[in-house]
Amino acid sequence: MATLTHPHQQTHLFSKIYLKPKPKFTTSPSRIRMSLQENAPSLAVVGVTGAVGQEFLSVLSDRDFPYRSIKMLASKRSAGKQLSFQDRNYTIEELTAESFDGIDIALFSAGGSISKQFGPVAVEKGAVVVDNSSAFRMNEGIPLVIPEVNPEAMEGIKVGMGKGALIANPNCSTIICLMAATPLHRHAKVQRMVVSTYQAASGAGAAAMEELELQTREVLEGKPPTCKIFKQQYAFNLFSHNAPVLSNGYNEEEMKLVKETQKIWNDMNVQVTATCIRVPVMRAHAESVNLQFEKPLDEDTARDILKKASGVVVIDDRASNHFPTPLEVSNKDDVAVGRIRRDVSQEGNHGLDIFVCGDQIRKGAAFNAIQIAELLL
């Protein structure tokens, strides 16, 4: 992904291993004809120069998402720069209130303040906004959607319905967790869930990914690490998630998992607690999830349920000690689940432990948003 590292960094270890550059925005002529259609919706991508914004374009191309036009929107600083997408050149435009004239679907990933400022403007102009920030997630009446989990939350919202709407993309950690937990919840009803996350640099954006790579080289060369994004050494280290800590001792990231799970499952009685940790991994999150069920659920049945679940792949080979890793799921759309085992601290089959990995930029952000957009068609 060209925007995530400087050109002279492309040969470095992390760029080669974690980013796995591939030609994302070029396609064959036949594929362009499939995507570019006169009767398809008009699109706008807000925050197109960021890590998730670039991934929006990648997923749109990978999925042959139909569109008649697409606006590339970013800050004034990026306006005027050229961007190539599906063999066409586009000029990045400055985001303004007028940007949404004639737009059917607007994909937002430019931070909460931008979403709060321009999301309602886009809706007022008739666009359906899919917002990747936390700005509207907990607002009553705003659907918070994982398409494999609760598509019914956005029922009735379609392109061409004559009015705008806003749909929130959940937090990346919530998406990755609930992709695995929900199929089991449907079968046995989760009463309590304990989550420990191991979150990648990508969750903090392209600059954080670049800093992790820079720090790694600096530490290996015996130099003091550059600490601009996280204010402490990240390479060869881990620390509590950098989100602000609240008065109850939880940080904002942890409380997102708590509150978003209750909203998405439409169950305010489900008990959720979380500890979120930032680890020196480039672009995929891992999560240890402990589940307590109302009804018994044995590990073999759970494994079968997960194998059949949409968007989930099971990697659970005890004999060879092979389980999900961030590296294996990087640039992938599916969430991987393994370490499926009975919780021996609970009686009977009322508890399970699982380990989940998912690409934070793909399913944790851009891919989920594009899936939501597909439901609008």
CA 334 to chain centre: 12
Bridge partners of 94? 74
Beta strands in the chain (DSSP E): 42-46, 69-74, 82-85, 88-91, 93-94, 105-108, 128-131, 165-168, 190-199, 239-240, 271-278, 284-293, 312-314, 335-342, 351-359
Cα gap 172→364, rounded to integer Å: 4
Cα gap 239→279, rounded to integer Å: 7
- Known catalytic residue at 357: no
Q: Which of 35, 116, 31, 109 is nearest to 75 (CA)?
A: 109
- Known catalytic residue at 172: yes
Cα gap 324→357, rounded to integer Å: 6
Specify the pairing of strand 105-108 against strand 128-131.
parallel
Vertex 202, ends 7 and 266: CA angle to 5°? 150
Task: Judge contact between 230 and 208, C-beta under 8 A.
Answer: yes
Task: Judge contact between 203 and 172, C-beta under 8 A.
Answer: yes
Write out the two tokens for 342.
């009975």
Burial (0-12, 13-18, 19+ Cβ within 10 Å), 160: exposed
Compute CA distances 224 → 200, 217, 218, 234, whole Å.
22, 10, 6, 12
Q: Determine which one of 6, 172, 185, 241 is catalytic.
A: 172
Q: Determine which one of 177, 285, 322, 350 is catalytic.
A: 285
Compute CA distances 232 → 229, 247, 315, whole Å.
8, 23, 34
Write out the two tokens for 356.
């989940």
Task: Judge contact between 51 and 202, C-beta under 8 A.
Answer: yes
End-to-end CA distance of the chain: 28
- The residue type at 313: V
Q: What are phi and psi of 259, to 5 degrees?
A: -70, -40
Task: Judge contact between 165 and 157, C-beta under 8 A.
Answer: yes
- Residues with catalytic roles: 172, 285
